Amino acid sequence: MDPGAGHSHGSIEEIYFVLNGQLTIKLDDEVTTLSPRDAVRIGPGTVRAVRNDTDQEAALAMCSVRVGDPRAESQFHEAFWVEG
C-alpha cells in the first residue's frame, strides 16, 4: 500500500488510543499529534491515516465493532497524505 494512503469506512466508527510514544494522525484535512493516553473517536466516512514521525517506538490500540466483511466496509484513498 502507498505510504501516503488513507482509508475510510462506510458505517464503522473507530477509537484510536495511544498507549505509548507519539503518533501523528490525519483525519480528513486535519493533522494532529497524539501522546500517551490520548484518544480520538473517528466517525464513519472520515478518511484517516496514522504514522509515527519519531525515532521512538509507539503503540496504538484501536477499537471498533466486528463486521462480517471488513474489505467491503473499507475504502482506500491513495495519495491522501502526501507531503508537498
Model confidence over 3-12: pLDDT tens digits? 689 999 999 9
For residue 15, is it within any domain? Answer: yes
For residue 24, is it within any domain? Answer: yes
Residue 2, pLDDT above cutoff 80: no
Rounded mean pLDDT of the chain? Answer: 93
The enclosing domain of 45 has a CATH number of 2.60.120.10
For residue 81, is it within any domain? Answer: no
Provide the whole-model pTM. 0.89
For residue 41, is it within any domain? Answer: yes
For residue 21, is it within any domain? Answer: yes
For residue 26, is it within any domain? Answer: yes
Residue 26, pLDDT above cutoff 60: yes
Q: How confident is the model at residue 16, as a pLDDT? A: 97
Please report the sign of the dihedral spanned by the C-alpha atoms of residue 51, residue 19, residue 36, residue 47. positive
Domain tally, the chain: 1
**43: domain range?**
6-65
Contact 73, 9 (CB under 8 A): yes
Helix (H) or strand (E) holding 73, with range, is helix 70-73
